[in-house]
Each structure stands twice: as C-alpha cells, then as structure tokens.
Amino acid sequence: MSANNEARGNDRAIGFSFEFFPPKKPEAEASWWRSVQALSAYSPEFVSVTYGAGATSQAPTYAAVKRLVDETDLVTASHLTVVKATSGEVDDVIRRFRDAGIRRFVALRGDPPGGIGTAYSPHPGGYSNAAALVSALKTIGDFDISVSAYPEKHPESADRTGDIAMLKAKADNGADRALTQFFFDNDVFEDYLNDVRRAGITIPVVPGIMPIQNIKQLKNFAARCGANVPAFVDSRFEGLDDDLPGQFEAAADLAAEQVLDLQRRGLSDFHFYTMNRSKLQIAVLDRLGIMPDDTQIGAAPERLRA
C-alpha cells in the first residue's frame, strides 16, 4: 500500500486488495478457488480472508489462507478476532498462522457472540478490543496489520468521536493501515477522513468498496452494519427487478464511478469486498482500465470520466 492517500501520479494508477471469505462447505471450495484464480490475474497488492468468532472458528480460515500461501503467489492476510477466546487461545492462533507463513493480519474485535445488535462484553481472560489485539500481534511478531474503520460510525459506538478514538488507539499500538466498512456516499467518507486526520491519525485509511451483487440483500446487510444506502444508489436499480444483466451493469458502473470520484479526491488505494464472486469485480476493474497482469492500463473509459 502507498504510504499515504495521495494520488500516485498523472496516470492515476491505483493500488487495490481483495477480500474473500473461506468456503465452509466442500461444494463451495471449487467456486471460491475459481474466483481466487480469476482475480489473482489482476495482481492485487494483497488478499484477505475473513474469520469467524472465536478460536474454535479458525479452521475454515486457516485452510483457506494455507492454500493461498502454498498454491499462489498472493500476499495473504488473515482476519483475526478476539471474540469467544482467551488471550492465550488467540496467541496460539497467531503463532499457528505465523508458522503457516502468514505475515499479515486484519485485526478485529469481532461481532458480539449473540450477533449484530446484541450487547458485547469481552471474553473473561481475553483481549478487550482490537487495539489490544494489535499490541498482542506486535509482541509476537513483526506483522503487517490492518484494522477496521467506520466512515458512518460503528453501530455500537456512541458517536464518531469515540469511534475515532478507538481507531487512534489501534494506530498508536502499531496498526499499519485501516480498511473501512463499505460505504456509498463519498462526501461522508471525505468528512470522516478529515476528522481522522485532525485527531492525529496518520496511517492510510483505505476505502472499502462493495460492488452490489444483489441490492435487496445489500440493503438488509447494510442496515445491520450501520451503513447507509443512499437514494441515488437505489435509483440506479429502479426498473431492473427482472433485468439481471441490467442490474449487473448498474452495479459495475456504480462501483467504478465511486472509485473514480475517490481518486479525484486524492485517494489511491482501495479494498474490494468480492463476496467470492469474480465476474462483477472483474467488470469493475475493466471499467477502471485495469487488465489482467497489469494494474493500470490507460485511462478509464470515456463514459465514466467526469
């Protein structure tokens, strides 16, 4: 990742990473691997693999990251949470992943054991939050650490000030960058980033981009995450309920336009939530002029320019 959020030059080249979730059933393994292979051709700066709650949920993630390390050249980061685990159990997981060749982590507190919307309390004898987890990682090894950030505020935070204070604690404890929750209103992100910088946080804050696979499912998920789906997003899908190709084109255009606008605002790194589906992600990259084996080929197509 770049050292800051400034443009990389006149060619407007971008850095990007992909997020996958581990297949939980054997029949999903082949589909996940096809997506990995298809997107690896675009030379992402790294890929990340999500993680369940608690040390006992590590198996699918461990299997996925181990395969990525063993069978690809992708720089791979494993998500890690502190939910439902003692500090000793979390430390053991860190060492196991380290011994498997993992040198990057996405350090997260994790969702409450009772699910999003329920009260969270730290596990007895466990790490209290993601800032404590960052410290533990830095104690065990010289890892590259990403953490989360929330342009629209974490749903459990009282206000943005408290939210940014937690991000500062994570940065102060050694985090290398923040990857944001997905969002669609770039004005909201820019306002958030200004507040982050005013708080003295200097690590890169990388926008999380969610190409919309299904607008109805996305709105339900966003409501649980505290993310807003603006009216202008809804309007792009009006009249397309029975038009799957039209939904696909609208989703690809929307994500590419969001990235281009963020580039105009000085951002140069992006984290894409792929949902293990490569076709839509590739369509977004194509609209950005990014082709396989070359992270920047020419300018974006004329129809997507300002």
- For residue 126, the model assigns a pLDDT of 86
Q: Token match 């140069």: residue?
A: 268
- The least confident of 18-27, 200-209, 242-251 is 18-27
- For residue 154, the model assigns a pLDDT of 80
- For residue 229, the model assigns a pLDDT of 95
Nearest to 182 by CA among 210, 160, 154, 157: 210
Q: The CATH number of the domain where 207 resides is what?
A: 3.20.20.220
- For residue 2, the model assigns a pLDDT of 35
Q: Would 98 be classed as within a structural domain?
A: yes
Nearest to 251 by CA among 218, 211, 221: 211
Nearest to 206 by CA among 55, 68, 19: 19
Q: Would 223 be classed as within a structural domain?
A: yes
pLDDT band at 114 (very low <50, low <70, confident <90, very high): low
- The least confident of 99-103, 107-111, 134-138 is 107-111
Nearest to 195 by CA among 220, 165, 222, 216: 165
- For residue 8, the model assigns a pLDDT of 37
Q: Would 3 be classed as within a structural domain?
A: no
The pLDDT tens digits for 159-170 are 889 899 999 999
Q: Would 61 be classed as within a structural domain?
A: yes
d(CA 66, CA 4): 30
- Cα 65–Cα 67–Cα 72 angle in degrees, nearest 5: 100
Q: Report the chain's terminal Cα–Cα distance, integer Å.
A: 26
The pLDDT tens digits for 235-276 are 999 999 999 999 999 999 999 999 999 999 999 999 999 999
Q: Would 110 be classed as within a structural domain?
A: yes
279: how many CB neighbours lie within 10 A of its CB? 12
Number of domains in the chain: 1
Between 186 and 25, where is the model more confident? 186
Q: Would 2 be classed as within a structural domain?
A: no
d(CA 215, CA 221): 10
The pLDDT tens digits for 151-197 are 998 877 778 898 999 999 999 999 999 999 999 999 999 999 999 99
Catalytic pick from 19, 89, 152, 257? 19
Rg of the chain over Cα atoms, rounded to whole angstroms, equals 19
Residue-number span of the structural domain to which 267 is assigned = 15-304
Average pLDDT of every residue of the chain: 88
Q: Would 170 be classed as within a structural domain?
A: yes
The pLDDT tens digits for 126-142 are 898 999 999 999 999 99
Tokens of 52: 């369940």
- For residue 4, the model assigns a pLDDT of 37
- For residue 159, the model assigns a pLDDT of 85
Angle between helices 87-99 and 130-140 (to 10 degrees): 50
3-state helix, strand, coil in the chain (%, to 5): 45, 15, 40
Q: Would 4 be classed as within a structural domain?
A: no
Q: Is the pLDDT of residue 12 over 70?
A: no
| Three-state secondary structure call for residue 280 | helix
- DSSP alpha helices (H): ranges in the chain? 26-40, 58-71, 87-99, 130-140, 160-172, 186-198, 215-225, 231-236, 244-264, 278-287
The pLDDT tens digits for 49-97 are 998 655 446 789 999 999 999 999 999 999 999 988 899 999 999 999 9
19 given a catalytic annotation: yes
